Structure 1
Amino acid sequence: MSTLDRLTADLTTALKARDTLRTSTLRQLIGAVRHEEKAGTVARELTEDEVLKVLAREAKKRRESAQIYTDAGAADRAATETAEADVVDEYLPTRLSDDELAALVDAVVADTGASTLKEMGAVMKEATARAAGRADGKALSALVRARLAG
């Protein structure tokens, strides 16, 4: 079952259960995927990886919004954004732990033979491909930079 099919099935379940938070979040996610499908000059069907990228982007938006609301003192809104991000996370692949991420970066640096910051682009390209959406880009970049600088 594709992620989009799962979102649609779970939306039906959430509607029947009268779970307003989940219903609202799933509708937004399906809308974001549909919008992405229609973006550009020709409408197209997204691949599973592209759907996961859209969901990752939506989760990131919600986490950033929650942080902004927290900083502004709007705890109730921050809690809502965090809850929505948690719903989105259920559809994303499990994240790499810090140790797994460090091991991945070490392996990529060793495989590419990179030793200076000038080679960061090549290392990032390979590390991003190997992480396959299971790692935050900022964390990955910071780790690669630390490995190449030190």
Structure 2
Amino acid sequence: MPSITPTSVQKHLSPSDFIVSKTDALGNIIYGNQIFIDISGYDEHELMGASHSILRHPDMPSVVFKLLWERIAKKEEIFAYVKNLCKDGSSYWVFANVTATMNPNGSVRDYHSVRRKPSTKAMEVIPTLYGTLLKAERSGGIEASRKILDTHLKEKGTDYDRFVLSLQQ
């Protein structure tokens, strides 16, 4: 796929919209509901089998995805705010919940993500925080970004999960 240049155009979910997708254990898309397909701007055949990173916006700090993969690798759910990149260069923010679907033998069958509109409160905090994390990553790598995130959480007297969920309330 050709490289996509982000634009300043932002799309917004309505409060009743839920984006649902599934990926295989390697992160390749195996299902997307119609809202997912429509907002992404891709045709369904372009998404199926593609890495979910096809939607990765360059404004997203890697540390968020590192946390996500650490959690789901341990078969734990995670909530995260994610800025996605559409085929036309526009973007949209989501509040995502990602979980592993297990086989009867306990191995991961696939990953299931449900995303909805992030709260106004979250959008007043997350873009600035992510900008700080991204700047740290560019100069000091993902560990520099992780250190800033950990310091931010410690200063707030909370952990990642409580912080993220408190912004959505």
- TM-score surpassing 0.5? no
Higher relative CO (Cα under 8 Å, sequence separation at least 6) belongs to 2
Richer in helix (by share): 1
TM-score (norm 2): 0.27
Richer in strand (by share): 2
Question: Which protein is bigger by CA-based radius of gyration?
Answer: 1
